[in-house]
Structure 1
């Protein structure tokens, strides 16, 4: 298991330490070499890699054909990569994986916070759901631009809490009611409904 000191040392400084801890607890895998492969709703059982080379061989074998999550943060392998030759062993280096994962989750967290208009209590849970599925508010969240610095915490009823871009919908059409995954193109595994399922490597699902 990765110790707290390593997590804090390696985490992206743009994400608050308390959020980093909650994020790792919610989605983290105890094995830096852990690789989870899914196709549709099915988990592909793979032999747990015993070395970084084994792990990278698994990743390269399945990226582009299935949904692959890897390492401590179960980072979405293949994100932003056009060719498997571009995949780097950083994915299975504990510190590098934590750095990449927390940086990407930080962006997701800011996107969700912008949707709410303020860092309300619901943000973290929805950000975790977005990390697991790859979608928030009907959009593939990992491809969305980073909205930058977060607004100050305000009362939810403040009219200024509404996102400036007008993307927010009524509560009935919020992130918990999306149907985007039903419309996903099966030929694009990087934009499919990625869910973290660690049963393939003998680890229980995160709560």
Structure 2
């Protein structure tokens, strides 16, 4: 569980602390040095880094060739990075990683929320959150690469700007169907269909909470 003081100090202020905590629990790690490397659907086994330097070395070895997620938010390490030399140690700093990760997750959350028609209510929030976590883990929502999708709904949940240029290597290796879900998540529909018209049926939540 992420420390409450760390959330207060470092998390994106537009996300409720409860959502931040749930996000890290569902998609992140307790260890800021956690580096997860995937090649397609396969997890690449690597020694667990014991120091920030070792973690950064592991990231640099795999960036551009595999999908690399890092830190307590499992932030996509290749996002906005053209070369391994541009990687910053902030990735494995707990506060900086939480700040970057929650800002980017807030963008993903807004994209999902807008797709559902900005519903309200606890049930709607639960569904939006679960889909946002799946989109965070896979990099895709309804066939769209969420980390590259323009963020046009900042005012909808009052979050700060989380836009960042995406490294093509992130999208090349982060396959749409390579979804990694928490054990509590329901099996997700295949997001590999680039044609939105072929997407699976989702529940219409637009009426939830309406007066």
Smaller-chain TM-score range?
A: 0.7 to 0.9
Matched with 2:131 is: 126
Tell me: CA distance 1:130–1:61, structure 2 relative to 1, closer, same or farther (3 Å).
same
Equivalents in 2 of 1:131, 1:55: separation in Å?
A: 21
> Which 5+ residue runs of structure 1 have no aligned equivalent?
153-184, 198-204
- 2:38 corresponds to 1:38: yes
**Match of residue 141, structure 2, among 109, 121, 136:** 136
Q: Which residue pairs with 1:29 in the alignment?
A: 29
Structure 2 unmatched runs, 5+: 159-168, 185-211
Cα pair distance change 1:110/1:101, threshold 3 Å: same
What is the TM-score normalised by the length of structure 2?
0.73
Query: Contact 1:27 / 1:206 at 8 angstroms: preserved in 2?
Result: no
**Does structure 1 residue 192 correspond to structure 2 residue 198?**
no
Aligned to 1:176: none
Partner of 1:57: 57
Q: Can you list the C-alpha shifts for 1:20-78, whole angstroms capped at 9, x where unaligned?
A: 11111111201100000010111111100011000000001001100110000000111
- Aligned to 1:143, the other structure's residue is in SS state coil
RMSD of equivalent CA atoms: 2.3
Aligned pairs for 1:13-28 (under 5 A) are 13-28=13-28
| Cα displacement (A) at 1:15 | 1.4
- Indicate how the Cα distance of structure 1 residues 187 and 196 shifts in structure 2: closer, same or farther if over 3 A, else same: closer
Q: Give me the whole-angstrom Cα distance separating, in 2, the residues matched to 1:187 and 1:133.
A: 10
Cα distance between partner residues in 1 of 2:170 and 2:9: 38
